[in-house]
Amino acid sequence: MAGLMIKDAAETPIKAIKSHYNNKLSLIYIKNRLHKIFEKEINSPKSIFIKVKGGVIDKIASFVAGDIDRACSVGIAGETASGKSTIAFDIISKIQEFADQYALDNIITRINIDDYYYDRSEMVKAAGSFAEFAKNYDLDVPEALELELMKKHMKQLLNGESVKLPKYDMSGTAKRYDNFLPVEPSKVIISEGLFALTDKIVDAFDFKIYVDVSRNVQKERFYVRAAERDLGDSSDEVYENAYRKAQVYVHPTAMKADIILSGEANREDYKRFISEIIELIEEVHEMKSHTVSDMSRKLLLQ
């Protein structure tokens, strides 16, 4: 028994050293791969990227490799009808597919900033319709949302606590249901909305993304949405107000973004790029069983 204990004690440091070097090699490999994936997309004729800030790729690598061993948070901002919600859903969908394939629980959680609009259902009733309400109540300023509550929920999830998120009725009632959706902590927390990168909540995010779009495309998309929400003859006024307020409260937040995406890029190009990142994450799972020499060979083959 004593001999076995001595043997185990001698092996433990060796295993720890091997694990340390294997982790370092994994991080180097992941960084190299990520830089190649990003550079390929950045240099493509119809790139999904407008800007990628220096250092952000290495930070992504640190999370993927597990060098930063905690949940990460992603904030996606952009003007109305920029495409931020679509991009967020595509990211979530691809990551969830990966999680389902490997039977992984609590991998990604979405927090919709729009769900934090204050309840104004009584004001809608008093106005007679949402269209009339929208003429006199400004939904396009940060003060229309309880951003402090959203930030609190984000921090609770990042600290490993379960929370109950609100749900805002976007059908035209302006009703908010509090403590509506129970959510467990996850590896990735993604949040999107007009004001994701405003001062009140921007520091809650590890990665800050802004989605940019031309006014013509934005306007076309807005009027499709306005018809779906039955804004009627108030559509013009609502759009002009949204556009003006965005120039004050939303567009300037692009300066805080780590990544600026094109809201006009082909959706399939987004999915393809996300798939490439997911393929790398799948490799990371396989790396867990690689030896130092295996990792060295993989680096030499890059």
Higher pLDDT among residues 90 and 1, named by residue: 90
pLDDT 10s digits, 195-232: 999 999 999 999 999 999 999 999 999 988 888 877 77
Q: What is the number of structural domains in the chain?
A: 1
Task: Give the H/E segment covering residue 163.
Answer: strand 163-168
Whether residue 237 lies inside any domain: the answer is: yes
Q: What is the DSSP letter of 169?
A: -
Instruction: Output the pLDDT for position 18.
Output: 43
pLDDT(7) > 50: no
Instruction: Output the pLDDT for position 301.
Output: 52
In the chain, the percentage of residues whose pLDDT exceeds 90 is: 68
Residue-number span of the structural domain to which 238 is assigned: 15-114+187-301
Instruction: Output the pLDDT for position 149.
Output: 97
pLDDT(21) > 80: no
Q: Mean pLDDT lowest for which of 67-76, 114-123, 247-256, 285-294?
A: 285-294
Whether residue 132 lies inside any domain: the answer is: no
Distance CA 130, CA 108 (A): 33
Contacts of 15 (CB under 8 A, 6+ apart): none
- Mean pLDDT computed over every residue of the chain: 87
Whether residue 254 lies inside any domain: the answer is: yes
Q: How confident is the model at residue 192 (pLDDT cuts 50, 70, 90)?
A: very high
pLDDT 10s digits, 41-65: 999 999 999 999 999 999 999 999 8
Q: Give the residue ranges of DSSP H helices in 165-266.
A: 215-228, 235-249
Instruction: Output the pLDDT for position 22.
Output: 58
Are 207 and 58 in contact by the 8 Å Cβ rule? The answer is no
Instruction: Output the pLDDT for position 2.
Output: 39
Q: How confident is the model at residue 172 (pLDDT cuts 50, 70, 90)?
A: confident
Instruction: Output the pLDDT for position 74.
Output: 98
Name which of 94, 122, 120 is nearest 108 in CA terms.
Answer: 94
- Location of structure tokens 């993304």: 209
CATH number at residue 295: 3.40.50
pLDDT 10s digits, 100-124: 998 989 999 999 999 999 999 999 9
pLDDT(153) > 60: yes
Read off the amino acid at residue 52: V
pLDDT(4) > 90: no
Whether residue 238 lies inside any domain: the answer is: yes
Neighbours of 232 (CB within 10 A): 14
| pTM for the full predicted model | 0.86
**For 274-279, what is the mean pLDDT?**
94
